[in-house]
Amino acid sequence: MPELPEVETTRLGIMPHIQGQRLREFELRCAKLRWPVDSALIDILPGQKLKSVLRRGKYLLLAFEAGHLMIHLGMSGSLRVVDGDSEVGKHDHVDLIFEHCVLRYRDPRRFGSIHWVEGDIEEHWLLAKLGPEPLSEGFDGGVLYKRSRKRQIAVKNFIMDTQVVVGVGNIYATEALFKTGIAPQKAAGKVSRARYDRLAEEIKVVLASAITRGGTTLRDFVGGTGEQGYFALELLAYGRAGEPCVQCGTALKTEKIGQRASVYCSKCQT
DNA sequence: AAATTCTCCTGAAGGC
DNA sequence: TGCCTTCAGGAGAATT
Protein backbone atom coordinates (compact mmCIF):
# COMPACT_ATOMS: atom_id res chain seq x y z
CA MET A 1 0.00 0.00 0.00
CA PRO A 2 1.51 3.28 -1.02
CA GLU A 3 2.62 5.44 1.86
CA LEU A 4 4.92 8.41 1.53
CA PRO A 5 8.07 6.42 0.63
CA GLU A 6 6.19 4.54 -2.06
CA VAL A 7 4.77 7.75 -3.49
CA GLU A 8 8.22 9.34 -3.45
CA THR A 9 9.69 6.22 -5.07
CA THR A 10 7.05 6.49 -7.76
CA ARG A 11 7.80 10.18 -8.27
CA LEU A 12 11.52 9.54 -8.65
CA GLY A 13 10.84 6.61 -10.94
CA ILE A 14 8.53 8.33 -13.40
CA MET A 15 9.99 11.83 -13.42
CA PRO A 16 13.01 11.24 -15.68
CA HIS A 17 10.81 9.58 -18.29
CA ILE A 18 8.08 12.17 -18.58
CA GLN A 19 9.40 15.54 -17.42
CA GLY A 20 9.58 18.06 -20.23
CA GLN A 21 7.41 15.99 -22.54
CA ARG A 22 4.22 17.18 -24.15
CA LEU A 23 1.01 15.27 -23.52
CA ARG A 24 -0.62 13.88 -26.61
CA GLU A 25 -3.73 12.26 -25.21
CA PHE A 26 -5.53 11.69 -21.92
CA GLU A 27 -7.25 8.34 -22.10
CA LEU A 28 -9.89 7.78 -19.47
CA ARG A 29 -11.19 4.21 -19.38
CA CYS A 30 -12.79 4.35 -15.95
CA ALA A 31 -13.63 7.63 -14.25
CA LYS A 32 -15.08 6.01 -11.16
CA LEU A 33 -12.33 6.48 -8.63
CA ARG A 34 -12.82 7.81 -5.11
CA TRP A 35 -14.20 10.94 -6.73
CA PRO A 36 -15.24 10.92 -10.39
CA VAL A 37 -12.40 11.94 -12.69
CA ASP A 38 -13.31 15.09 -14.63
CA SER A 39 -13.85 14.00 -18.22
CA ALA A 40 -13.04 17.53 -19.37
CA LEU A 41 -9.39 16.53 -18.89
CA ILE A 42 -9.65 14.72 -22.20
CA ASP A 43 -9.82 18.14 -23.84
CA ILE A 44 -7.80 20.17 -21.33
CA LEU A 45 -4.55 18.20 -21.10
CA PRO A 46 -3.49 17.36 -24.67
CA GLY A 47 -0.90 19.77 -26.02
CA GLN A 48 0.37 20.80 -22.63
CA LYS A 49 3.97 20.30 -21.60
CA LEU A 50 4.78 18.65 -18.26
CA LYS A 51 7.03 21.01 -16.35
CA SER A 52 7.81 18.96 -13.24
CA VAL A 53 6.65 16.16 -10.96
CA LEU A 54 6.15 17.18 -7.34
CA ARG A 55 4.76 15.64 -4.19
CA ARG A 56 2.79 16.92 -1.23
CA GLY A 57 2.07 14.32 1.41
CA LYS A 58 0.91 11.29 -0.52
CA TYR A 59 -0.35 13.38 -3.42
CA LEU A 60 1.65 13.40 -6.63
CA LEU A 61 1.48 16.69 -8.48
CA LEU A 62 2.12 16.75 -12.20
CA ALA A 63 2.78 20.40 -12.97
CA PHE A 64 1.55 21.18 -16.47
CA GLU A 65 1.62 24.57 -18.14
CA ALA A 66 -1.96 25.45 -17.24
CA GLY A 67 -2.30 23.73 -13.87
CA HIS A 68 -1.60 20.66 -11.76
CA LEU A 69 -2.85 17.13 -12.16
CA MET A 70 -3.12 15.88 -8.58
CA ILE A 71 -2.99 12.12 -8.18
CA HIS A 72 -3.50 10.01 -5.05
CA LEU A 73 -2.74 6.30 -5.22
CA GLY A 74 -5.14 5.35 -2.45
CA MET A 75 -4.64 1.81 -1.21
CA SER A 76 -3.75 -0.09 -4.29
CA GLY A 77 -2.86 2.48 -6.93
CA SER A 78 0.30 2.57 -9.00
CA LEU A 79 1.74 4.66 -11.79
CA ARG A 80 3.99 3.01 -14.31
CA VAL A 81 5.85 4.19 -17.34
CA VAL A 82 5.07 1.76 -20.14
CA ASP A 83 5.39 1.42 -23.91
CA GLY A 84 2.52 2.64 -26.02
CA ASP A 85 1.78 -0.87 -27.21
CA SER A 86 1.84 -2.62 -23.85
CA GLU A 87 -1.23 -4.60 -22.94
CA VAL A 88 -3.96 -2.84 -20.97
CA GLY A 89 -4.95 -4.62 -17.77
CA LYS A 90 -8.34 -4.87 -16.15
CA HIS A 91 -7.60 -2.15 -13.61
CA ASP A 92 -5.61 0.19 -15.83
CA HIS A 93 -8.04 3.09 -15.59
CA VAL A 94 -6.11 6.01 -17.06
CA ASP A 95 -3.31 6.56 -19.57
CA LEU A 96 -1.36 9.78 -19.93
CA ILE A 97 0.00 9.38 -23.42
CA PHE A 98 3.14 11.46 -23.90
CA GLU A 99 5.27 11.88 -26.98
CA HIS A 100 7.67 9.08 -26.15
CA CYS A 101 5.98 6.96 -23.48
CA VAL A 102 2.79 6.30 -21.58
CA LEU A 103 2.16 6.93 -17.90
CA ARG A 104 -0.37 4.32 -16.82
CA TYR A 105 -2.55 4.57 -13.71
CA ARG A 106 -3.67 1.25 -12.24
CA ASP A 107 -5.85 0.93 -9.15
CA PRO A 108 -7.71 -2.34 -8.44
CA ARG A 109 -9.59 -0.99 -5.42
CA ARG A 110 -10.16 2.46 -6.88
CA PHE A 111 -9.51 4.26 -3.60
CA GLY A 112 -7.27 6.71 -5.41
CA SER A 113 -8.15 10.01 -7.02
CA ILE A 114 -7.23 12.35 -9.86
CA HIS A 115 -7.99 16.08 -9.76
CA TRP A 116 -7.20 18.95 -12.08
CA VAL A 117 -6.28 22.13 -10.24
CA GLU A 118 -5.78 25.56 -11.76
CA GLY A 119 -4.34 28.32 -9.61
CA ASP A 120 -2.53 27.90 -6.30
CA ILE A 121 -2.24 24.17 -5.71
CA GLU A 122 -1.55 24.60 -1.99
CA GLU A 123 -4.96 26.17 -1.56
CA HIS A 124 -6.81 23.20 -2.93
CA TRP A 125 -9.20 21.80 -0.33
CA LEU A 126 -7.40 18.46 -0.24
CA LEU A 127 -4.06 20.09 0.52
CA ALA A 128 -4.96 23.24 2.43
CA LYS A 129 -5.20 21.63 5.87
CA LEU A 130 -2.31 19.21 5.62
CA GLY A 131 0.36 19.23 8.31
CA PRO A 132 4.11 19.56 7.68
CA GLU A 133 6.18 17.22 5.54
CA PRO A 134 7.82 14.70 7.90
CA LEU A 135 11.22 15.00 6.23
CA SER A 136 11.24 18.79 6.39
CA GLU A 137 12.79 21.02 9.04
CA GLY A 138 9.31 22.13 9.99
CA PHE A 139 8.57 18.76 11.55
CA ASP A 140 10.04 17.83 14.91
CA GLY A 141 9.15 16.63 18.39
CA GLY A 142 8.04 20.10 19.37
CA VAL A 143 5.32 20.09 16.74
CA LEU A 144 4.02 16.74 17.97
CA TYR A 145 4.22 17.78 21.60
CA LYS A 146 2.39 21.06 21.12
CA ARG A 147 -0.39 19.66 19.00
CA SER A 148 -1.00 16.68 21.26
CA ARG A 149 -1.61 18.44 24.55
CA LYS A 150 -4.93 17.49 26.09
CA ARG A 151 -5.65 15.05 23.28
CA GLN A 152 -7.08 11.69 24.34
CA ILE A 153 -6.61 10.08 20.94
CA ALA A 154 -4.21 7.12 20.72
CA VAL A 155 -0.72 8.31 19.81
CA LYS A 156 -0.73 6.01 16.78
CA ASN A 157 -3.85 7.62 15.36
CA PHE A 158 -2.44 11.01 16.23
CA ILE A 159 0.68 10.61 14.09
CA MET A 160 -1.43 9.17 11.28
CA ASP A 161 -3.61 12.30 11.25
CA THR A 162 -2.69 14.19 8.08
CA GLN A 163 -3.37 17.49 9.81
CA VAL A 164 -0.61 16.70 12.31
CA VAL A 165 1.97 15.39 9.84
CA VAL A 166 1.54 13.95 6.36
CA GLY A 167 2.71 10.66 4.97
CA VAL A 168 2.73 8.48 8.07
CA GLY A 169 0.46 5.52 7.37
CA ASN A 170 -0.11 2.29 9.22
CA ILE A 171 3.17 0.60 8.30
CA TYR A 172 5.51 3.40 9.27
CA ALA A 173 3.50 4.48 12.32
CA THR A 174 3.74 0.92 13.59
CA GLU A 175 7.48 0.78 12.96
CA ALA A 176 8.30 4.19 14.44
CA LEU A 177 6.37 3.46 17.64
CA PHE A 178 8.05 0.08 18.02
CA LYS A 179 11.49 1.59 17.59
CA THR A 180 10.84 4.32 20.13
CA GLY A 181 9.21 2.00 22.65
CA ILE A 182 5.93 3.88 22.80
CA ALA A 183 2.71 1.89 23.19
CA PRO A 184 0.48 2.70 20.21
CA GLN A 185 -2.70 3.00 22.28
CA LYS A 186 -1.21 5.50 24.74
CA ALA A 187 -3.05 8.81 24.84
CA ALA A 188 -1.26 11.36 22.65
CA GLY A 189 -1.56 14.00 25.35
CA LYS A 190 0.32 11.86 27.85
CA VAL A 191 3.46 11.29 25.80
CA SER A 192 6.40 13.35 27.09
CA ARG A 193 8.33 15.95 25.12
CA ALA A 194 11.47 13.81 25.23
CA ARG A 195 9.65 10.84 23.75
CA TYR A 196 8.10 12.97 21.00
CA ASP A 197 11.60 14.18 20.12
CA ARG A 198 12.65 10.58 19.66
CA LEU A 199 9.47 9.67 17.83
CA ALA A 200 9.79 12.51 15.32
CA GLU A 201 13.41 11.54 14.72
CA GLU A 202 12.48 7.91 14.21
CA ILE A 203 9.69 8.80 11.78
CA LYS A 204 12.26 10.67 9.70
CA VAL A 205 14.74 7.79 9.85
CA VAL A 206 12.16 5.15 8.95
CA LEU A 207 10.70 7.12 6.05
CA ALA A 208 14.09 8.13 4.66
CA SER A 209 15.35 4.58 4.93
CA ALA A 210 12.28 3.23 3.14
CA ILE A 211 12.73 5.74 0.31
CA THR A 212 16.37 4.68 -0.05
CA ARG A 213 15.25 1.07 -0.44
CA GLY A 214 12.60 1.88 -2.99
CA GLY A 215 9.62 1.64 -0.69
CA THR A 216 7.92 -1.32 0.93
CA THR A 217 6.55 -3.92 -1.43
CA LEU A 218 3.50 -5.57 0.07
CA ARG A 219 1.25 -7.45 -2.26
CA ASP A 220 1.92 -5.70 -5.54
CA PHE A 221 3.55 -2.35 -4.95
CA VAL A 222 6.06 -1.53 -7.64
CA GLY A 223 7.97 1.64 -8.33
CA GLY A 224 7.53 3.88 -11.32
CA THR A 225 9.30 1.57 -13.69
CA GLY A 226 8.13 -1.70 -12.19
CA GLU A 227 10.86 -2.56 -9.72
CA GLN A 228 10.09 -3.88 -6.27
CA GLY A 229 10.75 -2.15 -2.99
CA TYR A 230 12.92 -3.79 -0.40
CA PHE A 231 11.94 -2.13 2.85
CA ALA A 232 9.62 -5.02 3.74
CA LEU A 233 12.76 -6.95 4.59
CA GLU A 234 13.43 -4.55 7.44
CA LEU A 235 10.03 -4.38 9.07
CA LEU A 236 10.37 -5.18 12.76
CA ALA A 237 6.76 -5.01 13.87
CA TYR A 238 4.31 -4.50 11.02
CA GLY A 239 2.96 -7.83 9.83
CA ARG A 240 4.82 -9.76 12.55
CA ALA A 241 1.96 -10.41 14.98
CA GLY A 242 2.65 -13.52 17.03
CA GLU A 243 6.31 -13.56 16.11
CA PRO A 244 8.98 -12.83 18.71
CA CYS A 245 10.01 -9.26 19.43
CA VAL A 246 13.53 -8.71 18.08
CA GLN A 247 14.50 -7.01 21.34
CA CYS A 248 13.04 -9.23 24.06
CA GLY A 249 11.57 -12.30 22.39
CA THR A 250 8.04 -11.75 23.65
CA ALA A 251 5.35 -12.61 21.09
CA LEU A 252 4.17 -9.42 19.39
CA LYS A 253 0.55 -8.54 20.00
CA THR A 254 -1.96 -7.26 17.51
CA GLU A 255 -4.83 -4.98 18.41
CA LYS A 256 -7.26 -2.83 16.52
CA ILE A 257 -6.69 0.81 17.25
CA GLY A 258 -9.05 3.14 15.45
CA GLN A 259 -10.10 0.49 12.92
CA ARG A 260 -6.47 -0.31 12.03
CA ALA A 261 -4.41 -3.34 12.85
CA SER A 262 -1.60 -2.42 15.20
CA VAL A 263 1.26 -4.68 16.09
CA TYR A 264 3.37 -3.95 19.14
CA CYS A 265 5.43 -5.49 21.93
CA SER A 266 3.59 -5.30 25.23
CA LYS A 267 6.87 -5.48 27.13
CA CYS A 268 9.05 -3.02 25.18
CA GLN A 269 6.37 -0.47 24.34
CA THR A 270 4.90 1.45 27.25
C1' DA B 1 -13.58 20.76 19.03
C1' DA B 2 -12.46 16.10 19.31
C1' DA B 3 -13.36 11.40 18.77
C1' DT B 4 -15.65 7.69 16.53
C1' DT B 5 -17.90 5.41 12.84
C1' DC B 6 -18.95 4.99 8.04
C1' DT B 7 -17.75 4.75 3.26
C1' DC B 8 -15.62 3.72 -1.14
C1' DC B 9 -13.63 -1.25 -3.54
C1' DT B 10 -11.63 -5.79 -4.74
C1' DG B 11 -7.89 -9.16 -4.08
C1' DA B 12 -6.24 -12.24 -0.77
C1' DA B 13 -6.79 -15.40 2.76
C1' DG B 14 -9.28 -18.48 5.68
C1' DG B 15 -13.09 -21.82 6.65
C1' DC B 16 -15.56 -25.71 5.45
C1' DT C 1 -11.09 -27.98 -5.72
C1' DG C 2 -14.26 -24.26 -5.01
C1' DC C 3 -17.58 -21.34 -3.06
C1' DC C 4 -18.58 -18.24 0.69
C1' DT C 5 -17.16 -15.03 4.30
C1' DT C 6 -14.06 -11.89 6.29
C1' DC C 7 -10.69 -8.48 6.17
C1' DA C 8 -7.41 -4.83 4.96
C1' DG C 9 -6.83 -0.15 4.46
C1' DG C 10 -6.14 6.04 3.05
C1' DA C 11 -8.60 9.45 4.40
C1' DG C 12 -12.59 12.45 3.76
C1' DA C 13 -17.54 12.55 5.29
C1' DA C 14 -20.90 11.91 8.50
C1' DT C 15 -22.18 11.36 13.12
C1' DT C 16 -21.98 11.68 18.06
**Out of A2, A5, A134, A184, which one is annotated catalytic?**
A2
Q: Stated in angstroms, how far is A147 CA from C16 C1'? A: 23
Query: Residue A165 has what pLDDT?
Result: 96
pLDDT tens profile A186-206: 999 999 999 999 999 999 999
Q: Stated in angstroms, how far is A136 CA from C3 C1'? A: 50
Average pLDDT along chain A: 91
Query: Residue A230 has what pLDDT?
Result: 55
**Proximity of residue A29 CB to strand B below 7 A:** no
**Residues A32 and A109: beta-carbon distance below 8 Å:** no
Query: Residue A221 has what pLDDT?
Result: 46
Compute the distance between CA of residue A149 and CA of residue A103 in angstroms, rounded to an integer: 44
Average pLDDT of the segment spanning A111-117? 96
Confidence of residue A85 (pLDDT cuts 50, 70, 90): confident
Query: Residue A239 has what pLDDT?
Result: 86
Compute the distance between CA of residue A140 and CA of residue A95 in angstroms, rounded to an integer: 39
Query: Residue A220 has what pLDDT?
Result: 44
Q: H or E stretch including A61?
A: strand A59-64
Is A253 labeled as catalytic in the residue annotation? Answer: no
Query: Residue A3 has what pLDDT?
Result: 83
Residue A19, judged by CB atoms within 10 A of its CB (0-12, 13-18, 19+), counts as middle
Average pLDDT of the segment spanning A243-247? 92
**What's the predicted TM-score (pTM) here?**
0.92
Confidence of residue A6 (pLDDT cuts 50, 70, 90): confident
Q: Stated in angstroms, how far is A110 CA from C3 C1'? A: 25
**Proximity of residue A258 CB to strand B below 7 A:** yes
Beta pairing, strands A260-264 & A23-28 = unpaired
Contacts for A123 with CB less than 8 Å, ≥ 6 apart? none
Compute the distance between CA of residue A128 and CA of residue A215 in angstroms, rounded to an integer: 26
What residues does A256 pair with on adjacent strands?
Answer: A261
Is A193 labeled as catalytic in the residue annotation? Answer: no
Query: Residue A219 has what pLDDT?
Result: 40
**Out of A11, A58, A80, A213, which one is annotated catalytic?**
A58
Confidence of residue A214 (pLDDT cuts 50, 70, 90): confident
What residues does A262 pair with on adjacent strands?
Answer: A255
> What are the distances in angstroms from CA A134 to CA A72, A81, A169, A201, A213?
18, 27, 12, 9, 18
Query: Residue A2 has what pLDDT?
Result: 79
Query: Residue A259 has what pLDDT?
Result: 83
Q: Is the pLDDT of residue A97 over 70?
A: yes
Q: H or E stretch including A42?
A: helix A41-44
Sign of CA dihedral A265, A168, A234, A241: positive
Least confident of A98-107, A143-152, A252-261: A252-261
pLDDT tens profile A119-151: 999 999 999 999 999 999 999 999 999 999 999
Q: Stated in angstroms, how far is A198 CA from B5 C1'? A: 32
Compute the distance between CA of residue A172 and CA of residue A169 in angstroms, rounded to an integer: 6
Q: Is the pLDDT of residue A228 over 70?
A: no
Residues by CB within 7 A of strand C: list them: A 1, 3, 34, 57-58, 72, 74-76, 109, 111, 126, 160, 162, 169-171, 256, 259-261
